[in-house]
């Protein structure tokens, strides 16, 4: 493990930078599987991630030296399993806080934890929890952000990068530093019992919240309005006067042109 100068208490204090790896989440899981001691807050950063993963086994596209791809280890044993979505909210808020000064108010969190600017995807998060004895022993949080790319393949729809927004390159390590700092801030708030505040802020910055939109679920296209996310992490959508809830992959946003 390499010690690095991060101003936070623990997130990023142990930083491992890899030239190339299939997936930073897989790399971190393999270390943990060997029962090697890994401090909470350890970050695995890849200069080139060749087999990145998104939600539900989707592929994550990244470009060598132009994308920020890393995984973070947290140990939220204080959080009951039925409240694990609060961790998703805290991580999302940390990323949001770091990017907001750069991107501005068009920045949103698309449920559950994609990072959107307008109707385009800037980044995504994959959280994999390891449960033992009814508690979350380890939480491996993979984060991928489009930073300095200018071109994306056809199979990556609606993608955008900071370079395309800001018209200048951005330092990957500086962005990593800021994200780690802000994730630590919200994670400690979660640990201190401020879950109501975390959920309230998450709902305030939710993509399409309280705005009528077009969705597809169970092969049916319909108009609805996102009214929130429940304690189980399910998306709440009102259709006419009926409130319905959806799990991940049960509902599709039909993006506006």
- Pick out the chain residues at pLDDT < 70: 1-7, 51-62, 256-257
Name the pTM for this structure: 0.91
For 207, half-sphere exposure in the C-beta direction (CA atoms, 13 angstrom radius) is 24
Is residue 184 located within the same domain as residue 224? no
5 in a structural domain: no
Is residue 38 located within the same domain as residue 126? yes
Is residue 122 located within the same domain as residue 230? no
Q: What is the CATH number of the domain that holds 46?
A: 3.30.930.10
At which of 169, 188, 204 does a domain end? 204
Q: What is the CATH number of the domain that holds 232?
A: 2.30.30
Is residue 137 located within the same domain as residue 225? no
107 in a structural domain: yes
pLDDT of 57 reads 47
247 in a structural domain: yes
pLDDT of 245 reads 98
Is residue 78 located within the same domain as residue 178? yes
pLDDT of 202 reads 98
Is residue 182 located within the same domain as residue 74? yes
pLDDT of 229 reads 97
pLDDT of 1 reads 41
pLDDT of 250 reads 96
127 in a structural domain: yes
Number of domains in the chain: 2
Is residue 45 located within the same domain as residue 111? yes
Is residue 49 located within the same domain as residue 78? yes
For 168-181, the pLDDT digits (tens) are 999 999 999 999 99
pLDDT of 36 reads 82
Is residue 183 located within the same domain as residue 108? yes
pLDDT of 9 reads 85
Is residue 119 located within the same domain as residue 236? no
Q: Which domain holds residue 245?
A: 212-253
Is residue 182 located within the same domain as residue 231? no
pLDDT of 62 reads 67
Is residue 169 located within the same domain as residue 236? no
8 in a structural domain: no
pLDDT of 53 reads 53
């Amino acid at each position: 493990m390499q010690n690095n100068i991060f101003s936070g208490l623990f997130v990023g204090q142990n930083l491992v930078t890899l030239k190339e790896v299939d997936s930073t989440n897989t790399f971190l899981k393999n270390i943990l599987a060997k029962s090697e001691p890994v401090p909470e807050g350890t970050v695995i950063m890849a200069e080139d991630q060749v087999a990145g993963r998104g939600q539900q086994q989707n592929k994550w596209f990244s470009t060598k030296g132009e994308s920020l791809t890393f995984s973070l280890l947290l140990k939220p044993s204080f959080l009951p399993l039925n409240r694990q979505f609060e961790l998703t909210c805290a991580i999302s808020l940390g990323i949001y806080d770091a990017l907001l000064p750069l991107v501005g108010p068009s920045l949103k969190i698309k449920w559950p934890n994609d990072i959107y600017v307008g109707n385009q995807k800037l980044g995504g998060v994959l959280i994999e929890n390891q449960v033992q004895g009814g508690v979350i022993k380890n939480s491996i949080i993979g984060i991928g952000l489009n930073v300095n790319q200018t071109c994306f393949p056809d199979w990556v729809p609606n993608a955008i990068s900071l370079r395309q927004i800001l018209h200048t390159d951005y330092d990957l390590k500086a962005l990593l530093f800021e994200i780690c700092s802000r994730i630590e801030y919200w994670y400690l708030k979660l640990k201190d019992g401020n879950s109501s505040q975390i959920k309230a802020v998450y709902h305030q910055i939710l993509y399409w919240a309280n705005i009528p939109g077009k969705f597809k679920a169970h092969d049916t296209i319909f108009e609805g309005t996102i009214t929130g996310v429940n304690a189980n992490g399910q998306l709440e959508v009102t259709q006419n006067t009926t409130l319905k809830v959806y799990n991940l992959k049960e509902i599709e946003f039909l993006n506006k042109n």
